[in-house]
């Protein structure tokens, strides 16, 4: 069994902002797996299904970012899962836009959602996918930067391609393990997005709903 958690803030105000990378990746992953994320459980929205013969639970915590660990700790207890069978997907301002970094364990760094998860579950030993959003320009406050949306078509395409690859990396993690996923996706620039026909799990045109938008769209 696998638990995949995408970090973000609930509510329209935060949709498709840089800090909601985890939610957008989970939306794409839910469509690739045909697993709706709609049930309320343990302070989260969850979806349950199967992939490669294994049960998988997709989770979007609804506790707001800084309290993400509340939902995560409850879900691990509910499903009686060790943290090693959980994958957390989140934004990283220390990575260039579009870059992915997959690790089997590690510190929470400066990410408040990850810090809360580590604090609540008492370990740093669980896999994670960091999706680069880039550092803030000098004229931006950090909070304003991570809570802003992408403004240009180029920024939105880079983000959407990275989100697709992060969803694919989560599938590969479940199917082939963390080492293969790291070798495949820990590159210095985004890999070409695989055509939908190559994926074993179905995906429909509604995946475009997760595409990051600008404020004017």
List pLDDT tens digits, range 80-125: 999 999 999 999 999 999 999 999 999 998 899 999 999 999 999 9
- Tell me which residues are annotated as active site: 19
DSSP H helices in 38-89: 68-79
Write down all domains in the chain, each with its CATH number in brackets. 2-210 (3.40.50.1470)
Q: 70 by DSSP, 3-state: which?
A: helix
What's the pLDDT at 21?
97
Q: How many helices (H) and strands (E) does the chain have?
A: 6, 7
Closest residue by Cα to residue 116 from 79, 58, 63: 63
pTM of the model: 0.86
List pLDDT tens digits, range 9-55: 999 999 999 999 999 999 999 999 999 999 999 999 999 999 999 99
Which residue's entry shows tokens 């994926």? 199
Q: How many CA atoms within 13 Å lie on the side-chain side of 61?
A: 31
Share of the chain above pLDDT 90, in %: 77
């Amino acid at each position: 069994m696998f638990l995949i958690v995408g970090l973000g803030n609930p509510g329209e105000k935060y949709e498709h902002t840089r800090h909601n990378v985890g939610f957008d990746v989970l939306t794409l992953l839910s469509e690739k797996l045909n697993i709706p994320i709609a049930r309320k459980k343990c302070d989260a929205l969850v979806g349950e299904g199967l992939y490669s013969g294994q049960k998988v639970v997709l989770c979007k915590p609804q506790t707001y970012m800084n309290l993400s660990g509340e939902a995560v700790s409850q879900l691990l207890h509910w499903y009686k899962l060790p943290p090693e069978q959980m994958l957390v997907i989140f934004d990283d301002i220390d990575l260039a836009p579009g870059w992915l970094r997959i690790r089997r364990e590690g510190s929470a760094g400066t990410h408040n959602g990850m810090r809360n998860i580590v604090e609540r579950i008492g370990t740093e030993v669980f896999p994670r996918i960091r999706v680069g959003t880039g550092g803030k320009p000098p004229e931006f406050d950090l909070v304003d930067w991570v809570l802003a949306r992408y403004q240009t078509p180029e920024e939105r395409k880079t983000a959407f391609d990275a989100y697709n690859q992060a969803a694919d990396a989560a599938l590969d993690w479940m199917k082939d393990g963390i080492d293969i996923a790291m070798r495949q996706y820990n590159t210095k620039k985004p890999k070409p997005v695989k055509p939908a026909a190559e994926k074993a799990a179905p995906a429909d045109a509604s995946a475009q709903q997760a595409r990051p938008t600008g404020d004017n769209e």
